[in-house]
Amino acid sequence: MEIIVNLDVMMAKRKISSNELAERVGITAANLSILKTGKARAIRFSTLMALCHELNCQPGDLLEFRDE
C-alpha cells in the first residue's frame, strides 16, 4: 500500500525539465528530485498547488494510490 508520484510522467508529457519546473514552482532541484524518486514522506498543499498550476493538471494526475 503506497502513494506513487507520477511527476516524471507528467513532466515528460509537458516536455519540461527538472530544473525549469523547480525554478517555476519555487523549490530546489534537490527537493524536486526527492519528489520524483518517491523518497518524499509528505508534500505541502502549496507545493502540490504550484505543481498542478505549472503542469496544468490535477493532483490525481501526479499522485496515485496503489493497494498492493
Partner 1 sequence: MNWTKDRSIALSRACVVVFALLLAALDVSAVITAPPVERHTQMILMLVTISHTLWTVLVALCSLFAWPALWKLWRLLGNLQAGKVFTDDNVRLMRAVSWCCVGAGLVCLVCGCWYAPLFVLAAAAAFMALIVRIVKNVFQQAIAMKSELDLTV
Q: Where do contacts with partner 1 occur on this chain (CB under 8 A)?
A: 27, 31-32, 34-35, 39-44, 47
In whole angstroms, what is the distance from residue 1 CA to residue 3 CA? 7
CB of 14 to partner 1, least distance (A): 19
In whole angstroms, what is the distance from residue 46 CA to residue 25 CA? 9
**58: number of CA atoms within 13 Å, CB side?**
3
CB of 46 to partner 1, least distance (A): 10
58: cell is 490535477
Q: Please identify, using beta-carbon distances, which residue of 26 and 60 lies nearer to partner 1.
A: 26
Q: Please identify, using beta-carbon distances, which residue of 10 and 35 lies nearer to partner 1.
A: 35
